[in-house]
Every structure is written in C-alpha cells, then in structure tokens.
Amino acid sequence: MERIITGWNIVWKRYYEAFASLSIVKKIALSAGFAVLTALSAQLYIPLPFTPVPVTGQVFAVLLAGVLLGRKAGALSQLLYLAVGSAGMNYWFYGSGMGFIRPTTGYIAGFILAAYLIGFLTEKNRSRTGMIFAMLCGITVILSAGTLWLALFLRVPLYKAFLMGFLPFIPLDIVKAYFAGAIANSIIKNRY
C-alpha cells in the first residue's frame, strides 16, 4: 500500500512540475479549454421538480480544472466561463435564453472560488487523500455559494434554500468527484 501512495505522490509531483514549466500562453489556452469544457458540461442537465437548480455536469469540469490546472489557471478557466456567459453568449450556460441573473448564478460564482481552492489545496498536498479532501472542499464552496444566492434570489429562508440547493446535490457531486479524480489520475499516468 505504501508503494502505491508513494507512486501516486511521484506522479502528481511530476505532473505539476511539467505544468509549471508551460508558458503563460499555453496555461491561458488550457484555461480557455476548460471554460469550454464547463460550458459543454452545462448542456448535460436534468431538471428536478422540487428546485429551480438542475443537476449538471459543470461541477465535474470545475473539479478537473482545479486539480489539473492548479489554483490560478483553474480559477481563470472558471472566470472565463463566467465572463463569456455573462456577455450573453447563447448556449453557454444551461437553459439558454434565461440570461445571467438566474437561480444558479451563485453556483457559477462559486466555480471560481472552488477551482482556486481545489488548486491551492492540491498544490499543497498532492496525495490521493489530499486531492479527495480538496475536491470535497470545492464542492462545499460551490453548494454554499449557490445556496446563499438561491435564498436571496427566491427570497426564501436559508434552511429552505439549503433543502433545495445543497442537500440533494451532495451524493451526485461526490460521484462526480470520484470520476474527476479517476480521470485526472489517468491523464497524469498517460503523460508519464
């Protein structure tokens, strides 16, 4: 078991060293690519009958951005996602035509903070446990920001917003974190 953990740590260290050596232009290009990935994953959504917040693939893209791009480029990817969507590009956010100010605006703002936090935490602790912890923290940030905005937007008590915008999404977001970790790990292994 210790060999597996040691190997995991070595792979992540090599990945981050390679990423750190990229030019700023390449890092910005990767950030733009992850903004597009987030937009594409927004199109995978399932409306829920008890909340205006759908299940989407966006959290998956945000988790990957934070883990693979680090704090600065990961946050930049989500800032680009927010900027392009708020500029009015159709089909960028889920359910096009709703505009930027919508029940899910808080989640989108939370993407930036979550990508930064995930990147920051994984840069400090590149172990498997560290990555899992970072992604769970990122999910908490996204759901918290979304829930706060939902309470304000719908003018409902915070506990009701919690029941509509936080609690139902925990299990699915944990599954997304599992798959994001598995994909990140396979990307890194195939690179070295």
pLDDT digits (tens, 9 = 90+) for 79-89: 999 998 888 77
pTM (whole model) above 0.75: yes
Higher pLDDT, 78 or 5: 78
Assign domain 2-191 one CATH number from 1.20.140.10, 1.10.1660.10, 3.20.20.370, 1.10.1760.20.
1.10.1760.20
CA distance 183 to 23: 24
| Cα-based torsion angle of the residue sequence 176, 179, 182, 183 in order, rounded to the nearest 10 degrees | -100
CB 162 within 8 A of CB 117: no
CB 150 within 8 A of CB 161: yes
Question: Any idea which of 6-10, 34-38, 145-149 has the lowest mean pLDDT?
Answer: 6-10
Domain ranges for the chain: 2-191
> Each residue of 130-158: b (16+ CB within 10 Å) or e?
bbeebbbbbbbbbbbbbbbbbbebeeeee
For residue 53, the 8-state DSSP code is P
Which helix (H) or strand (E) is 45 found in, with range? strand 45-46
Residue 182 pLDDT > 80: no
- State both tokens at 55: 């299940």
- State both tokens at 137: 């923290």
